Amino acid sequence: MKIDIVQNKFNFIKDKYEILINANLEYTAKSKLLTIQPKIGIYNLGGKQILSVEKKSENINELNFSLKRNENSIIDIYTNSLIEYTIRNSQGTIHFCESKNHLIGIFLNDNQIGIINKNRKTLFGEDKYYAEIDENQIDKVLVIGFIIAYDYQYNNDRDTLVNLDFGNILIEPVREIDPNWRLDA
């Protein structure tokens, strides 16, 4: 499954995203105004919120967010290091591991089940993420929630006109990822 997330241009006050699944618009996301900690809602095309991405108050410099489907279904994103993040669910531990440039490998336990990439050049705050996942191994909504949280924490360029992002060029990856990973491979 392919997931494209495009942050709208000119998002000076409110972050807005369009989320395409296999090249079809399926979801939108937008930040909520007047909250103490950042919150971004992800909505289906009917306007129903399917996930809330909420910044936790501890360790504000790290990628510490909660993904909430409702009050009884909360999944936390944990920061393990500068370039590794985890989500724990009933299937096991999902690792998101940054590699060189903008690549992030997605692993369920020790198997690579997806990959995320990001645009290098940003105009007027428009970040673009491209992901391919094995939808039988991971919930697409969790991946979307992770990408939105990651963008908000590390790549929120809302107040810049042009940004050239080189990604991770210094830190060695904690896990080898296959940069050519494809579901059909």
Domain boundaries of the chain, sorted by first residue:
2-164
**Exposed / middle / buried, residue 110 (Cβ in 10 Å: 0-12, 13-18, 19+):** exposed
Tens-level pLDDT at each residue, the chain (185 residues): 999 998 876 555 678 899 999 999 999 999 887 766 778 999 999 999 999 999 887 666 677 889 998 777 888 998 888 889 999 888 889 999 988 777 899 999 889 999 998 775 555 556 788 999 999 999 999 999 999 998 888 766 555 555 555 555 566 767 888 888 886 65
Residue 82: closest CA among 93, 96, 92: 96
CATH architecture of 2-164: Beta Barrel (2.40)
- Nearby residues of 168 by Cβ (< 8 Å), 6 or more positions away: 83, 98, 99, 100, 101, 102
3-state class (DSSP) for residue 139: coil
**Exposed / middle / buried, residue 3 (Cβ in 10 Å: 0-12, 13-18, 19+):** buried
